[in-house]
Amino acid sequence: MSSKITRRQFAASAAAGAAIVAGVAPFNIVRAQPKALKIGSIHPRSGFQAQLGIACQRGIDIAPRVLKQLGMGADVEIMNADTESNVDIARSRAEKLINDGANVLIGAFDSGQSAAIAQVAEQKGVPYIINVAAAPQITEQGYKFVFRNFPTAPMLVGDGLNLMKAVFEKSGITPKTAVFMHVNDTFGQAMAGAIKAMAPRFNLPFQIVETIAYDPQAKDLSVEIAKAKATGAEMVMPVTRLNDAILMVREMVKQRWEPKIVMSPGAPGFYENQFYKTLGKFSNYLITNVPWYNPRSSITQKLLDEFTKSYKNELFELNVGFSFEAVMVAVDAFNRAKSTDGKALADAIRLTKIDNHVMAGGTLQFNEKGQNVNIKSVTLQNLDQRPKVVLPLDIAEDNLLLPMPSWSKR
């Protein structure tokens, strides 16, 4: 018998085979289980916010390892994107991450960039967990796929102003006048708006005698500090980023301006590694009221161990903590949803309830707007060139030291 296959026989067999494959394929798709959660991490890793974006990235990179140790392990694939500290690039990078298959987005440190990413995520139906960004409007738009595990500017300011009163009470020093200096970007304006609206309600003991806004990319703050010094204010309330925080303190030293207290109502800058490296002894005694990791939490200790192993010379701070928690929220939702579908993940994130976590405050959960309202600020004071919790007393690491010693006596 001939074993040759004719052209007609081959064509018929191929067609039958194709029909079988085509017929079974839909069932294969239905049966397929998601193997890995693809997390799109989007941060400013170059440009003027690069250091802070990279700090966030560190928290994300170590998160899968720590979560595995905590028994929350899942196959996670981290996809990275750089916003270049630019809102338009943030938008296009978010689109690209989603087109490349990201199931969840996490980012983006900056409010302006986060707002742009939120629009894209909502449009595409992909959950977006904001790790750091405070402009309140992002979670006031009625978005269904946007969640924020970071306080809004009014929450930051409310906590910040309350803690200010606690600092005055604890130190016995109550300033009568203050100058408010803020970076003029989305975050700075949101904070300024919140302070203006909320300060009267808090019955603060001091009067804000001058408000000074400055360019976020300022290379020199000598004029701003000269102007602030001329007010004779006893306290400075700065809302800064990192580079401008360095410029501000350096200029205060040069101009020999020694207010009794320098206390941020809730902004980055003073507690960043680069700040300590650059200013050395002049970084001490500055205060920030800010959401921070709970040094007493067992998860914080695990995260801190892993962080120290991976980044010996870097500082463990809030950007790392919130970024880790964003991954924790995504993985927790994935484990419960057992799906990478955007809607299923968003529904699962909405039902998040994590009691034991890293950042200070209550249970990690989201309200109907996608905002975690249980985060609480602490008072950090720079002591021995590192940030230490000084209030509230139940989680304090050191004692509050005020008034600040003179710049020349350090």
| Interface with other proteins (CB under 8 A) | 45-48, 50-51, 54, 184, 212-215, 217-224, 226-227, 230, 242-243, 246-247, 250, 253-256, 274, 278, 280, 282, 407
C-beta closer to other proteins: residue 227 or 350: 227
C-beta closer to other proteins: residue 52 or 328: 52
C-beta closer to other proteins: residue 171 or 274: 274
Q: Please tell me the total number of residues recorded for the chain in this structure.
A: 410
Least distance between other proteins and beta carbon 102 (Å): 24
Least distance between other proteins and beta carbon 217 (Å): 7
Nearest CA to 241 among 224, 225, 218, 262? Answer: 218
Is residue 53 within 8 Å of residue 109, measured between CB atoms? yes
Rounded to whole angstroms, the maximal C-alpha distance in the chain is 108
Determine how many CB atoms are found less than 10 A away from the CB of residue 408.
8
Please report, for residues 35, 204, 272, 281, 282, the alpha-carbon distance to residue 278 in angstroms, rounded to integers and kept in the order given. 45, 33, 10, 9, 9
C-beta closer to other proteins: residue 106 or 181: 181
Determine how many CB atoms are found less than 10 A away from the CB of residue 125.
14
Least distance between other proteins and beta carbon 47 (Å): 6
> At 361, phi and psi to the nearest 5?
130, -170
C-beta closer to other proteins: residue 191 or 246: 246
C-beta closer to other proteins: residue 38 or 45: 45
Least distance between other proteins and beta carbon 346 (Å): 33
DSSP per position, 345-385: HHHHHHT--BSS-SBSBS-B---TTSB---B-EEEEEEETT
Least distance between other proteins and beta carbon 50 (Å): 3
C-beta closer to other proteins: residue 90 or 390: 90
Least distance between other proteins and beta carbon 249 (Å): 10
Enter the tokens of residue 137: 């409007």
Least distance between other proteins and beta carbon 77 (Å): 25
C-beta closer to other proteins: residue 271 or 366: 271
DSSP per position, 259-321: -SEEEESS-SSTTSHHHHHHHGGGGTT-EEEEE-B-TT-HHHHHHHHHHHHH-TTS---HHHH
**What are the helix (H) ranges across 125-270?**
153-171, 186-202, 222-230, 242-254
Is residue 112 within 8 Å of residue 84, measured between CB atoms? no
Handedness of CA 88, 327, 243, 216 (dihedral sign): positive
Burial 95-119, CB ≥16 within 10 A → b, else e: bebbeeebbbbbbbbbbbbbbbbbb
C-beta closer to other proteins: residue 176 or 256: 256
C-beta closer to other proteins: residue 21 or 226: 226
Least distance between other proteins and beta carbon 229 (Å): 8
Least distance between other proteins and beta carbon 303 (Å): 23
HSE of 241, CA atoms in CB hemisphere, 13 A? 28
C-beta closer to other proteins: residue 84 or 159: 84
Is residue 246 within 8 Å of residue 263, measured between CB atoms? no
Is residue 161 within 8 Å of residue 264, measured between CB atoms? no
Least distance between other proteins and beta carbon 215 (Å): 5
Least distance between other proteins and beta carbon 228 (Å): 10
